[in-house]
Amino acid sequence: MRFNWHFYAGAGGTALLLVAGLVLADGYPTGQLVLALALLAVLLPTVVSLGVSWYVYDASGLYDFAWLLPAGATPPTRLVNIHAGFDETSALLRQQFPAAGLRVLDFYNPALHTEVSIRRARAAAVPYPGTESVSPHALPLPTAGTDYVLVMLAAHEIRDPAQRAAFLREIRRVLAPGGRAVVVEHLRDPANFLAYTIGFLHFYSRTTWRAAFRAGGLRVGQEQKLTPFLSAFMLYPDTDGSTF
């Protein structure tokens, strides 16, 4: 709500106008029915989107990261967290993996990432100490020098398919043998349409992501549904034979 308050303000203002219309239309049942249906059409998606967001981000256990490592996997010693200007995870990753060397990369570019919600989020966020500003197609990381790369709810902000593929190729380049990457995203699917209506168009479909991963030289070892609205793609280089 903090970063998209204009949507909720617009919905609230529209709802108030419709309520006023209902009062003024007293004695005109057909008009009241139309206004009541319009009010429902405004309020229901707003309430549902807020409820889903609360469930996904506050009640689902997303940020405890119990899902991040496959059962029996060795904790990473070289961990990279990549985001697009709003970082809620690096401090939590440090707590979860205190022995790991953690690098935090931020590919936010104000010329490309022009959505007002991103600007508000970035203004409100306190950068994790040592965060590095990077270009997604040229990560300042050594080749084959990273055990684990996490890109959480950020990769979809790279809107150009060629740039997205270049970013994924960079992830492929920096992964050590046996290393893995995790990309967490909402999908453009029925569940997210029910949750966010036309807002789901900001996300990409499963087919689009799988094509992007192939273009980036990455193979999906597992797609884990963290919630009905959120998928974690466990990825590994498509030439090293790793399994999950």
Round to whole Å and give the CA distance between 78 and 34: 59
Round to whole Å and give the CA distance between 170 and 143: 9
User: Domain boundaries in the chain?
Assistant: 5-59, 63-237
CB atoms within 10 A of CB 3: 17
Selection from 76, 145, 149 nearest residue 107 by Cα: 149
Percent of the chain with pLDDT over 70: 97
The pair of structure tokens assigned to 191 is 């569940």
Round to whole Å and give the CA distance between 25 and 18: 10
Q: What is the pLDDT of residues 78-127, one digit of tens each?
A: 999 999 988 999 999 999 999 999 999 999 887 777 677 777 777 777 88
Instruction: State the chain's mean pLDDT as an integer.
Output: 91
Rounded to the nearest 10°, the torsion over CA 141, 68, 70, 74 is 50
The pair of structure tokens assigned to 36 is 């009541």
Q: How confident is the model at residue 49 (pLDDT cuts 50, 70, 90)?
A: very high
Q: What is the pLDDT of residues 60-89, one digit of tens each?
A: 999 999 899 877 788 899 999 999 988 999
Per-residue buried b or exposed e for 148-182, using 16+ beta carbons within 10 Å of the residue's own CB: bbbbbbbbbbbeeeeebbbbbebbbbbbbeebbbb
Q: What is the pLDDT of residues 189-208, one digit of tens each?
A: 999 999 999 989 999 999 99
Question: What is this structure's pTM?
Answer: 0.88
Tell me: pLDDT of 182 over 80: yes
Asked if CATH classification 3.30.200.20 holds for the domain at 63-237, the reply, yes or no, is: no
Average pLDDT over residues 163-186: 96
Partner residues linked to 232 by β-bridges: 184, 224
Round to whole Å and give the CA distance between 16 and 23: 11
Please name the residue ranges forming H helices in 76-189. Answer: 90-96, 116-124, 161-174
Average pLDDT over residues 236-241: 72
Contact 187, 205 (CB under 8 A): yes
